[in-house]
Amino acid sequence: MNKKNQHFDSKVIHAGQSVEPVTGAVMPPIFLTSTYVQESPGVHKGFEYTRSHNPTRYALERCIARLEGSELTEEQDASYGGFAFSSGMAAISTTLDLLNAGDHIIAMDDLYGGTNRLFTKVKERSAGLQFSFVDLTNLSLLENAITDKTKLIWIETPTNPMLKLVDLEGVVNIAKDRGILLACDNTFATPALQHPLDMGFDIVMHSATKYLAGHSDVVAGILVTGNPELAERIRFVHNSAGPILSPFDSYLVLRGIKTLSLRMRRHCESAKRIATWLNTQESVELVIYPGLSSHPQFEIAEKQMQIDGELAGGGMITCIIAGGIEKSKSFLEKLEIFSLAESLGGVESLVEHPAIMTHASVSPENRAELGIEDGLVRLSIGIEDCGDLIADLEQALA
Ligand code: P1T
């Protein structure tokens, strides 16, 4: 069977993997070595130094490259266009390092707070980049924001924390073939649901800390491209600046990906049930979930977020607890199964308060514009029994 035609359930186990040649080990050994012996100067087995090449990291990079739809061969790029980083932020920073001082970037207005901070508080100053933040749920705003200096469009969809959706095909139709790189942070959807490269995007990025690794035990980032020239440019920065993922952490992320498909099915199923239930609760003012028909961009969810051809809304829910900061704080403190913690996408359910926690670095004015208000809480639905999760929410809301 052509590997490309395998079902995603099979790909997560086998994509990009090969049996270890010396022992036949089914999982790649964790190659804990910084360097590799050379027979004669420049004569080696393709591995010189671990910042540049590591077999465990390659195994992860090749796997995620294939899952995101890169078809690059080993001759075109050693890890098929997949690159693993020490964090999601390092992956984003590397994307910006592909640009030149003075270049202009159009970014989605609602973004992970750390991404917003990297753009506005670091890269504007250190790299001379210019950013415009645009609500790309309205694509007519995109055309107006593009200038002859625009070199990158940075999308998150669903966004963190407002779960806004951007029509990826719509972005491609407006911006493709204008010398603008199109990059999508696919952390919330994962390739189990959404494939930006297939729609014409150039780069997919992940905080692999989240659903890819899936067990809240590692911090990691990913970039994937299906374009050989772009892969070469990313490889150059990856190796030059050195924000690489360690062999051990590469192993953890690869191990996590084996169950990505199973986990995402469960995250989506439980989140849909919980969002529907939250919608019936008087003490909840608003429920935002891409899998509910009340979501403002529900049609986009139906089109671009799917498992086996069926809408899959993801595992994240954002809601507003009636009664402002006091009520939302007491709700968060009373939860017992949900842990109050930053991050998301693990097997355990987490809950957090964006205005105080993940998005504290976004200015209060900007938060107000985006709707990140004091009663807003973000739920990451884990894979525990869904009835237990609803019971926990019920006692905390009471
Ligand atoms: O934390 P790190 O692996 O460096 O990834 C940063 C990042 C990038 N993109 C998105 C969409 C993210 O959600 C994150 C990290 N987010 C959290 C830690 C959080 O709780 O939202």
Q: Tell me whether residue 21 is exposed, middle or buried, using C-beta atoms within 10 angstroms of its C-beta: 0 to 12, 13 to 18, 19 or more.
A: exposed
Active site residue 176: no
The pLDDT value given to residue 232:
98
Does residue 192 sit in the same domain as residue 98?
yes
Does residue 240 sit in the same domain as residue 270?
no
Nearest to 28 by CA among 213, 257, 255: 255
Does residue 10 sit in the same domain as residue 77?
yes
CATH of the domain at 106: 3.40.640.10
- Contact between 60 and 82 under an 8 Å Cβ cutoff? The reply is yes
Does residue 265 sit in the same domain as residue 252?
no
The pLDDT value given to residue 361:
87
The pLDDT value given to residue 193:
98
The pLDDT value given to residue 2:
74
User: Is the Cβ atom of 158 under 6 angstroms away from ligand 1?
Assistant: no
- Give the rounded distance of the alpha carbon of 27 from its chain centre: 25
Does residue 63 sit in the same domain as residue 120?
yes
What's the pLDDT tens digit per position in 314-324?
A: 999 999 999 98
User: Could you tell which of 160, 212, 349, 352 is best to mutate to test the pocket of ligand 1, judged by most ligand atoms within 8 Å of the CB?
Assistant: 160
CATH of the domain at 287: 3.90.1150.10
| Cα distance between residue 303 and residue 7, in whole Å | 19
What's the pLDDT tens digit per position in 263-294?
A: 999 999 999 999 999 999 999 999 999 999 99
285 CA distance to ligand 1 middle (Å): 26
Does residue 114 sit in the same domain as residue 20?
yes
What's the pLDDT tens digit per position in 197-248?
A: 999 999 999 999 999 999 999 999 999 999 999 999 999 999 999 999 999 9
What's the pLDDT tens digit per position in 29-71?
A: 999 999 999 999 999 999 999 999 999 999 999 999 999 999 9
Please identify, among 257, 275, 291, the residue that sits at the C-terminal boundary of a domain.
257
* Residue 293 belongs to domain spanning: 261-397
Per-residue pLDDT band for 4 (boundaries 50, 70, 90) equals confident
Does residue 189 sit in the same domain as residue 314?
no
Establish whether the linkage from the previous residue to 161 is cis, with ω within 30° of 0: yes
What's the pLDDT tens digit per position in 64-115?
A: 999 999 999 999 999 999 999 999 999 999 999 999 999 999 999 999 999 9
Does residue 100 sit in the same domain as residue 142?
yes
Per-residue pLDDT band for 171 (boundaries 50, 70, 90) equals very high
> Atom 20 of ligand 1 has which residue's CA nearest to it?
343
This prediction has a pTM of: 0.97
Does residue 231 sit in the same domain as residue 279?
no
The pLDDT value given to residue 87:
98
Q: Is it the case that residue 5 has pLDDT exceeding 90? A: no
Please identify, among 257, 282, 314, the residue that sits at the C-terminal boundary of a domain.
257
Does residue 250 sit in the same domain as residue 271?
no
What's the pLDDT tens digit per position in 316-367?
A: 999 999 998 999 999 999 999 999 999 999 999 999 999 999 999 888 999 9
Does residue 215 sit in the same domain as residue 72?
yes
- Contact between 312 and 291 under an 8 Å Cβ cutoff? The reply is yes
